[in-house]
Chain A
Amino acid sequence: MSIEEVSELASPAPVYGGAEPLLEVSDLRVRFDAKGRRVNAVNGLSYHVHAGRMLAIIGESGSGKSVSSRALMGLLPPTARISGSARFLGTDLLSLSEREMRRHRGADLAMVFQDPTRSLNPTMRIGTQITEAVRAHGDVDKRAAFDRAMELLQLVRLPAPERRFYEYPHQLSGGMRQRVMIAIALAADPKLLIADEATTALDVTTQAQVMELLLELQERLGTAIIMISHDLGLAASYAHDVIVMYAGRAVEYAPASTLFSHVRMPYTRALLGAIPRLERTPHSLLPVTPGQPPDLTALPPGCPFAPRCSRAQDDCHAEPPPFAEHEPGHWWACWHPCEVGGPAEEGGR
């Protein structure tokens, strides 16, 4: 399916609350063209983030969570073709040149990545990696950068910061490394922090500690956070709002409490239903939904979830359902939504 065909799906961005949103993503599309293969990774994604709130983006592997957030940061490889808009503090991030983008990157827009072991430079001292971020924006001398780095290390509660400053990443535990990554991200007091599976590589206890830290920092600094995760439980316990992504677009969006009590989209329901209720390991990756994930090189003309959906009918295969606000604050894309309180298993096949 070509970009032009998909663009009929262009959906209005959901608006949460009254105030002007900090980030307003509308109709974001990303495709990769490589050697005759066209991967439609993001297909008309729209959402809002408000200052001081935490938005969780969840979805199975390959649903476009990382690609869509890296597109905002200008961190995709040159093979990526990006369209749509992302208004952030009055500028459209997607229309900026690389040089202009660099002024925002790490300054008012920062990112924490999944694997803290690979995301820190193994041959550079912790302290240097933080002061580098501090000095990337603004004219900061060595001394001031050092003080700021210490302050950041204390902020993220890294034990013995004076010593850790001079150590190398391999001398730290995974949780400590992720704290360092967060310190780097916070170096310039960003307004928006994107945490791309920032806790996935950590053990359960550390995971909770890092999430608590993020939440606390958010309250103290007023930073908006986009939390990308495989982990529904994590989203339920920490995020204010949740977006569920499927095949590169949003399929359900609501405040966390609403979403988990009033699931309407069969895919979301399948995700929830696939969680073994009692013995669910808190660290489990996204529960397996029956059926094949969609082929992003050849998306079906109708609802992309149709081949796996037990509620699918003929119209689902013919035309894609619009992503719309069906109930106040609750958005979904489905022709035949589940009844509220219906059996959890009815979503997937």
Chain B
Amino acid sequence: MTTTEPVTDDAREAAPGAVARLVHSPSVRLIARRLVAAVPIVLGVSILTFIVLSLIPGDAAQLLLGPEATPEQIAAMHRQMGLDQPPVQRYLGWLGGALTGDLGNSLVSGQPVTGELGSRLAVTGELVGLAFVLSLGLAIPVALLAAYKPNRLFDRVSMLVSITGLAVANYVIALLLVLVFAVQFAFFPAIGFVPIGQGIGENLRSMLLPAVSIAFPLFCFYTRFLRGDLVDQLRGEDYIVTARAKGIGPGQVLLRHAFRNSSFGLLTVVGLNLGTLIGATVIIEQIFALPGIGQLLLQAINTRDFVVVQACVVVFAVVAVLANLVTDLLYAVLDPRIRYGNR
């Protein structure tokens, strides 16, 4: 028997060190808790999609073989696609694959869906990222200027623009942009996609119109939201009066005080948007023929390629859940009231 040093409380606490601190850090706990909570959501979405897809009339084999196909040919095709198995078994088989990163093979092309999704996700990701940068990059300065002198000319004009912008659907904006910039002036390609590999300039040129179509309504929404929140802070909050009573200028009051607090509200709104934005990409990718996930989803629905549809929907669900998680985390990192816990 070996003699061991008595383990003191201090030693026990010090031993796991960094790991313990990580496990006990509120942010890590938050991530863990939220990831666990996300599992049933994603699972539920996948089951629901599966059920809906089995209820939709029409099937991939029928469409592939054409109207002349005999029932025997279709049955053989079903066997080949694995569609002859009972639904529960099919779902469990799919789930097993999905957990290992294999989302199955397309019913139409026979290609693995996972690889296809990767390149598609990059395109959609770029589109959404660009739309966020454009909309926020413009909305923040415009809202700040409008709130600096509320109800003056600039404020009124920006309000008018954003109210109009909110009333117009993004696909209408897309069609208008195509008409003006691509057809009339030929500044931008009307449709098509240039990968980043072929030059970032060309890539951005092909992405700009679709990104603007998505960004414009967002810009209008963020401008209105932020301007309203800033004015509310400036008019109603006591800490603003304190700041003014110090004798600092109105610009500092706006930037250092009101904007600092309004930015948390904006962050929440942006996070919520990210989830719903996916819907917009489906239409816009279709209009501009961008090879993103939205386009893939529409094609797959048309060909009743249920494996691909299932994969797209699950990816959307995961993105929405992750977007919310990231928002909450940013909040936890940025807002001192949460960072240090409330009394």
- B-contacting residues of A (Cβ < 8 Å)? 73, 75, 77, 102-107, 110-111, 113, 115, 118-125, 132-133, 136-137, 167-168, 170-171, 181, 184-185, 187-188
CB of B337 within 8 A of CB of A106, answer no
Assembly CA distance A52 to B248 (angstroms): 26
Q: Whole-angstrom distance between the alpha carbons of A10 and B235 in the complex? A: 32
Most buried by A among B239, B242, B256: B242
Q: Are B340 and A133 in contact (CB under 8 A)?
A: no
> Which B residues fall within an 8 A CB radius of A?
235, 237-239, 241-249, 256-257, 260-261, 264, 335-337, 340, 342-343
Q: Which of A121, A133, A188 is within 8 Å of B260, CB to CB?
A: A121
Q: Are B246's CB and A106's CB within 8 A?
A: yes
Given contacts A75-B241, A119-B241, A184-B242, is CB(A136)–CB(B235) below 8 Å? no
Q: What is the bound-complex CA distance between A6 and B339, given in angstroms?
A: 54
Q: Are A106 and B260 in contact (CB under 8 A)?
A: no
Complex A-B: 28 CB contacts under 8 Å: A75-B241, A77-B235, A102-B249, A103-B247, A105-B245, A110-B245, A113-B241, A115-B238, A119-B238, A119-B241, A119-B242, A121-B239, A121-B242, A121-B243, A121-B260, A122-B239, A122-B261, A122-B336, A122-B337, A123-B261, A124-B256, A132-B256, A168-B337, A170-B340, A171-B340, A181-B242, A185-B245, A187-B246
Contacts of A171 in B (CB 8 A): 340, 343
Q: Which residues of B contact A110 (CB under 8 A)?
A: 245
A117, closest chain B residue (CB)? B238
Bound Cα distance A40, B237 (Å): 24
In the complex, what distance in Å separates the CA atom of A73 from the CA atom of B342?
33
**Interfacial chain A residues near B246, Cβ < 8 Å:** 105-106, 132-133, 136, 184, 187
B250 (CB) vs chain A CBs: closest residue? A98
Q: Which residues of B contact A185 (CB under 8 A)?
A: 245
- Contact among A118, A132, A168, A181 with B237 in the assembled complex (CB-CB below 8 Å): A118
CA distance A170 to B247 in the complex (A): 24
Report B-chain residues with C-beta under 8 Å of the C-beta of A105.
244-247
In the complex, given contacts A102-B247, A121-B242, A187-B246, what are 10 additional A-B residue pairs having Cβ atoms less than 8 angstroms apart? A104-B247, A106-B245, A106-B248, A119-B241, A119-B242, A121-B261, A123-B264, A123-B336, A124-B260, A168-B336
- Chain B residues, Cβ within 8 Å of A122: 239, 261, 336-337
Contact, CB under 8 Å: B340 / A107:
no
Closest chain-A Cβ to B150's Cβ sits at a distance in Å of: 10
Rounded to whole angstroms, the CA-CA distance of A172 and B31 in the bound complex is 28
CB distance from A96 to the nearest CB of B (A): 12
Q: Which residues of B contact A133 (CB under 8 A)?
A: 246-247
User: Is A119's CB under 8 angstroms from B239's CB?
Assistant: yes
B136 to chain A, nearest CB (A): 19
A121 and chain B: residue at smallest CB distance: B239
CB distance from A247 to the nearest CB of B (A): 24
Find out whether the CB atom of B239 lies under 8 angstroms from the CB atom of A120.
yes
Instruction: Please give, as numbers and ranges, the residues of chain B lying within 8 Å of A121 by CB-CB distance.
Output: 239, 242-243, 257, 260-261
The CA of A220 and the CA of B342, in the complex, are separated in Å by 36
In the bound assembly, the distance between CA atoms of A141 and B108 in angstroms comes to 70
Inter-subunit contact B248/A136 (CB<8 Å): yes
Closest to A167 in B: B340
A167–B340 alpha-carbon span in the complex (Å): 9
B330 to chain A, nearest CB (A): 14
Inter-chain CA distance A124–B337, complex, in Å, is 10
Q: Write the chain B residue with the least CB distance to A115.
A: B238
Bound CA–CA A184/B243 (angstroms): 10
Which residues of chain B have C-beta atoms less than 8 A from A103's C-beta? 247
Chain B nearest CB: distance from A173 CB in Å? Answer: 8
Are A170 and B337 closer than 8 Å at their CB atoms? Answer: yes
B260: chain A residues at CB < 8 Å are: 121, 123-124
Q: Which of A77, A122, A185 gathers most chain B CB within 10 Å? A: A122
- CB pair B245–A111 under 8 Å, yes or no, is yes
Q: Given the complex of chains A and B, what is the CA–CA distance between A118 and B246 in angstroms?
A: 16
Across-interface contacts of B244 in A (CB, < 8 A): 75, 105
Question: A residues within 8 A CB of B342?
Answer: 170
Contacts of B340 in A (CB 8 A): 167-168, 170-171
A108: nearest chain-B partner, CB-CB: B247
In the assembled complex, the CB of B267 is this many whole angstroms from the nearest CB of chain A, namely 12
CB of A194 to closest CB in B, whole Å: 9
User: A104: which B residues are within 8 A, CB to CB?
Assistant: 247
B68: min CB distance to chain A, Å: 69
CA distance in complex: A121, B257 (Å):
7
Compute how far the CA of A123 lies from the CA of B336 in the bound complex, rounded to whole angstroms: 6
Complex formed: what's the CA distance from A171 to B341 in Å? 9
Which residues of B sit under 8 angstroms from A111, Cβ to Cβ? 245
Choose among B243, B247, B256 the residue with the greatest number of A CB atoms under 10 Å from its CB: B247
Complex CA distance for A193 and B241, rounded to whole angstroms: 15
Which residue from chain A places its CB closest to the CB of B336 in the assembled complex?
A168
Residues of B within 8 A of A181 (CB): 242
Chain A residues with CB below 8 A from B343, complex form: 170-171
CB distance from B216 to the nearest CB of A (A): 30
* Pairs of residues from A and B, 7 with the lowest C-beta to C-beta distance, nearest first: A106-B247, A105-B247, A118-B238, A106-B246, A168-B336, A133-B246, A121-B239
Measured in the bound complex, the distance between the Cα atoms of B247 and A104 in whole Å is: 7
Whole-angstrom CA separation of A21 from B223 in the bound complex: 50
Given contacts A113-B241, A118-B237, A132-B256, whether A123 and B337 have CB atoms under 8 Å apart is yes
- What distance in Å separates the Cβ of B155 from its nearest Cβ neighbour in chain A? 14
